[in-house]
Structure 1
């Protein structure tokens, strides 16, 4: 027979406990009944043997009760169980004999012993116990017939009881086998359910879509890892010692609860995306009832739109480049004609100072329009559009060397990195374009203010919104940007210089966001201008 399962062994133990109690109670009841007033056959043939057998049997039962809980081998060893059941058969046979044999009816007690043996012991041993019990009864009746005068002929009853013992043994064995197989199947199904639950939980935890279960009071019942990462800035998740229980029991953030309330009023309404503060994430919500009925728990699906936004921005930049490329020819032809004609006109000797100034204005604006076209084309001209992980320190050293070799306005660029192994996941060509623009601006403003074109570059990791985000600070020594201009700093075609195009910072910001990064402006503690790029976590950037 296969090895018993934990559940089946527990059931066997329960049967063993009940039978052990039966061992003690049975002889005590027989003793009390035998000494009570009234006519009784108990101990009629040999009262002394009856009392001794009942007492010994009760003591044996008490010993077994004390041994069974501490001895695990009692119910796991067929030999020990067989020995104890043989003692039961011997004791009941003596009690039956001392009461006059089959006429007392005590032989029927062996049915309980054989039935218990069929449950506790499987296979041929159970049948062996039935055979021993039947032989004991037959021997007892035969001995009575030979030892007393005028014996009662109970051999037919003894044979019938022996047959009943065998039938009981076989029936209980079959029933026990069916119960065992049912228990085995139940255990297997329980294991499959547990494994399936673990698999489902693992799949849910590894999903990129955040899943939150909330009750009717908008309290969080459970959430997966993606949802925990999204809600980290909005919930007090760090107060939980167990990461798996973080967020449980807290109230759904107000912005999410408001969208959920609107959805419950009108389920066909598409919820508005929600921006998570200080993370650059934009989350699209979807709702569904966990069970039919408005009072059931609600599933909240959180879709991180960064991948979609990233692709949209890349497509927007590519579309802008294609649009510019398509009109560049049409614009440059008349633009070149205007510029060329102005240059020829400027060579005339008959121009006064006012006309020369007008020609200079025309040429400047022709150059400005041409620069605008070039900058927009550069934003989408990169052949390499695959992001990869780079070590900023090594990459910036090479970039600064190349920049100094190709730009005259560059006196000093100081680079500090902490930690030195800071990594980012970004498209290199687009990072070059961003830094070229920021370096140009910073060095130009530093030169205007101090007479020296200097920059300070700081690289590190900032624990922003509970996540480790690499950053790059570009600090110049210029006069800085006033508050009014700062509000429109990244707007297209906004510039504070007459010669600027107003597209540099706008395109730089678009390129940063297309790489799941943020470009922001701030002032240092000593009042210097600082442009900062906060990169996405390189291990979590969505490709």
Structure 2
């Protein structure tokens, strides 16, 4: 993977916070970036190798010198200095001082000057070193802006002309000293007029310099644009992948993806929580993580039928309905498993049925309370009347009790209508339960219950609306006090709080020592208006479950083998709840 793509892969999480820059804005001007430093370093190493080869050829072939035959010491000195400057250029590419644009322009001037001197010392235009000047201009054009690249070509052309003119002047001066010419200037102009081949050669070299500069810059610019486009597309793909993972991770349904061998490929947070999976690495067999789900997957692969029975991963976990489907495209062999909470599905159907009734009841509840208040006042006057007979007072008490029951029903219905007005807070259970315990004992009319409370860890906190948590626990503890007791015994109420698997979801259990709940009543336990008491409203447990679900918690009934009942509140994980809020 090239450096730009490594950089994109390493920084894809922060790309979404960066402002969008059009591609042309990053390539129309000189850009000081890491991969450009690598290109500059590579060209500097090329210059070092070139100088070393020229020096080696010059030293090893002293009799038939290919280079530096006219001015050997000038060629040798220039080559050594050029090699030293190439070493300094390589070091500067690591130090990155001065900035890249300055180093590239300096290196271009050094190349043109040094190679022009070498060409002059090796025979001028007839030397084979002219091609090195073209290569130097092309190498500089890779990193230079277009104007600087064309200026480099022009400067190289002018240096060649100047070198050739100096060579012609020296030749004219030599002839004048030997007596072959009267005036060096006249001889010089004669040489210029008689060297048409040199003019053609200069024109060809100049054209090649400009062609090399323009063509190399255009190819480099195109490569930079393609690289910038590829980097942008890479970032976009990484953003889309991260967005897709975020959507899957926060879906309300559980998502599990396994390969053809039943090994785990993907698992979102909801599925991890429902299946009670803490540490799941890609490639782990599904049968090790959830044997029940693995069995249903194998049955689906064999039969291909849509009817798959629900299952419960653990006693305190919701019942899950798995749905299987094969992925398409390159991952057609993988299987997508969607997990649905059957309790939530049933609750949604129940909510649809009760939506109209709830709205209607909430709208007329206040109107019903007005005549109830009048009836209650009249019954109270009848009870206090001295002329009322014993039978009349008994009837008045019956009417008064039913008025109170009707008021409780109306209050419960209004609480249901207001269940979405939650204000979740962090609640420290230890101190909060102490206050709740004192309030509950003050409200009881009969004998005080045996109260036991166990919280592990002691600093356990949950996220819940404190007022609604008080309503839920008040209902559960009142039921445990009134119904969770055997005849002739003292009521027992026990509260246990802790965390699943030491670091999982917090829970709170309300236990009693009563006879428990019959099997036929358990299925209807949380249905509205279901009650086994003559004076009950049948909305207490239904309201408690609704308030728990509004706070992203779950209320379950767990029978106790040794007798009694247990209502368990599974709170939402503290960190995930706060993030959603």
TM-score scaled by structure 1? Answer: 0.69
Deviation at 1:147, TM superposition (A): 0.8
Q: Which residue of 1 aligns with 2:494?
A: 458
Q: What SS is found at the alignment partner of 1:533?
A: strand
Deviation at 1:47, TM superposition (A): 2.3
1:157 is the counterpart of 2:181: no
Is the contact between residue 72 and residue 121 of structure 2 (CA under 8 Å) also seen in structure 1?
yes
Match 1:283 to one of 317, 320, 332: 320
1:294-309 alignment, distance < 5 Å: 296-309=333-346
Match 1:440 to one of 454, 474, 482: 482
Deviation at 1:96, TM superposition (A): 0.7
Q: 1:395 to 1:382 in 2, by over 3 A?
A: farther
Q: Which residue of 1 aligns with 2:309?
A: 272
Q: Deviations over 1:292-336 (max 9, x none)?
A: 5897222222222231233456789999xxxxxxxxxxxxxxxxx
CA distance in 2 between partners of 1:20 and 1:155 (Å) = 32
Deviation at 1:139, TM superposition (A): 0.6
Q: Which residue of 2 aligns with 1:43?
A: 68
Q: 1:492 to 1:211 in 2, by over 3 A?
A: closer
1:186 is the counterpart of 2:235: no
Match 2:165 to one of 133, 142, 160: 142
Match 1:536 to one of 557, 570, 574: 570
Q: 1:315 to 1:280 in 2, by over 3 A?
A: farther
Range with greater deviation from structure 2 (382-391 or 27-36): 382-391
CA distance in 1 between partners of 2:206 and 2:273 (Å) = 73
CA distance in 2 between partners of 1:13 and 1:129 (Å) = 20
1:25 is the counterpart of 2:37: no
Match 1:195 to one of 227, 230, 239: 239
Match 2:292 to one of 235, 255, 259: 255
CA distance in 1 between partners of 2:462 and 2:452 (Å) = 13
Deviation at 1:277, TM superposition (A): 0.9
Deviation at 1:395, TM superposition (A): 5.8
Q: Deviations over 1:26-50 (max 9, x none)?
A: 2333344444388565222222222
Q: What SS is found at the alignment partner of 2:494?
A: strand
Q: 1:430 to 1:50 in 2, by over 3 A?
A: closer
Is the contact between residue 325 and residue 335 of structure 2 (CA under 8 Å) also seen in structure 1?
yes
1:517 is the counterpart of 2:559: no
CA distance in 2 between partners of 1:16 and 1:265 (Å) = 62
Is the contact between residue 258 and residue 336 of structure 2 (CA under 8 Å) also seen in structure 1?
yes
Q: What SS is found at the alignment partner of 1:129?
A: helix
Q: Deviations over 1:441-487 (max 9, x none)?
A: 235x2x514xxxx33433342223563344243445x7x67xxx987
Range with greater deviation from structure 2 (7-16 or 47-56): 7-16
Q: Which residue of 2 aligns with 1:212?
A: 256
Is the contact between residue 7 and residue 187 of structure 1 (CA under 8 Å) also seen in structure 2?
no
CA distance in 2 between partners of 1:381 and 1:428 (Å) = 14
Q: 1:424 to 1:413 in 2, by over 3 A?
A: farther
Q: 1:536 to 1:201 in 2, by over 3 A?
A: same
CA distance in 2 between partners of 1:308 and 1:63 (Å) = 73
| Count of residue pairs the alignment pairs up | 454
Q: 1:7 to 1:91 in 2, by over 3 A?
A: closer
Q: What SS is found at the alignment partner of 2:484?
A: helix
Is the contact between residue 500 and residue 507 of structure 2 (CA under 8 Å) also seen in structure 1?
no
Q: What SS is found at the alignment partner of 2:319?
A: strand
Match 1:70 to one of 77, 80, 94: 94
Q: Deviations over 1:121-143 (max 9, x none)?
A: 21422222222211110011111
CA distance in 2 between partners of 1:7 and 1:299 (Å) = 46
Please list every run of 5 or more consecutive structure 1 residues that lacks an aligned counterpart in the other structure: 239-245, 320-370, 494-499
CA distance in 2 between partners of 1:501 and 1:195 (Å) = 58
CA distance in 2 between partners of 1:56 and 1:22 (Å) = 15
Is the contact between residue 490 and residue 509 of structure 1 (CA under 8 Å) also seen in structure 2?
no
1:364-375 alignment, distance < 5 Å: none
1:384 is the counterpart of 2:415: yes
Q: Which residue of 1 aligns with 2:366?
A: none
Deviation at 1:411, TM superposition (A): 4.8
Q: What SS is found at the alignment partner of 1:535?
A: strand
Is the contact between residue 138 and residue 159 of structure 1 (CA under 8 Å) also seen in structure 2?
no
Deviation at 1:81, TM superposition (A): 1.8
